[in-house]
Homo-oligomer: A and B are copies of this chain.
């Protein structure tokens, strides 16, 4: 199994609420369709929520739990919005002949105080084994302490990634940048040196930004790569086990 994570910043227009970047999605779907036809059929796609999720979460302060009636309505609205984004991604893949199937995170994961405490990975693995491309997403999930809480795509990747051969994280930049330059290799040893240089995300992000992503990836202990998803051929290369411009993350 390989995991391809597409950041919300790649597939949505972060400055426009609930607006997908259809052109970026179409190009990525075309690349994945090509891989599928060539026999690369071990990919699980995880996508972030981007402008479909963050604005509602911030506006209604859902990042610290869901208690009031207004928060419950906003939580349900967020779930619906994230589902719409998954549907757009799935449709683009179906249009390229890839039998993509959305597995909503809220049905697979239960969190306790914002961290996944139960995860039904069997459903993902059996979907993959049956010959489909599973699509998961960052979403609001049931939380034993908080009612519901945000489960980021990155946290999902960290959880599911323990069983993966490779994790490829598609970003809107060329890799993990320190002072504008791609860091070729990050390890647990050198991460502290880079951490303060990692630029914060340009847009509201409730899920930790780049430093958070790298921390999640380091915790997985699987070869991971951060590359520019606006250049789909780079993701394609990585998913074929080839080298390209990227940041490699080894634990």
Q: Does A204 make an interface contact (CB < 8 A)? A: no
Q: B residues within 8 A CB of A69?
A: 99, 131
Tell me how many chains of this kind the complex includes: 2
Q: Does A102 make an interface contact (CB < 8 A)? A: yes
Which of A84, A99, A148 has the most chain B CB atoms closer than 10 A to its own CB?
A99
Asked if A102 and B73 make an inter-chain contact with CB atoms under 8 angstroms apart, the answer reads no
Asked if B80 and A91 make an inter-chain contact with CB atoms under 8 angstroms apart, the answer reads yes
Please tell me the number of chain A residues within 8 Å of chain B, measured between CB atoms. 34
Q: Decide yes or no: A130 and B142 within 8 Å by CB, A87-B80, A87-B83 being known contacts.
A: yes
Q: Rank and list the top 9 A-B pairs by shortest CB-CB distance, nearest first.
A: A76-B99, A107-B107, A72-B99, A73-B99, A80-B90, A76-B101, A72-B131, A77-B94, A79-B101
Residues of A within 8 A of B (CB): 69, 72-73, 75-77, 79-80, 83-84, 87, 90-91, 94, 97-104, 106-108, 123, 126-127, 130-132, 142, 147-148
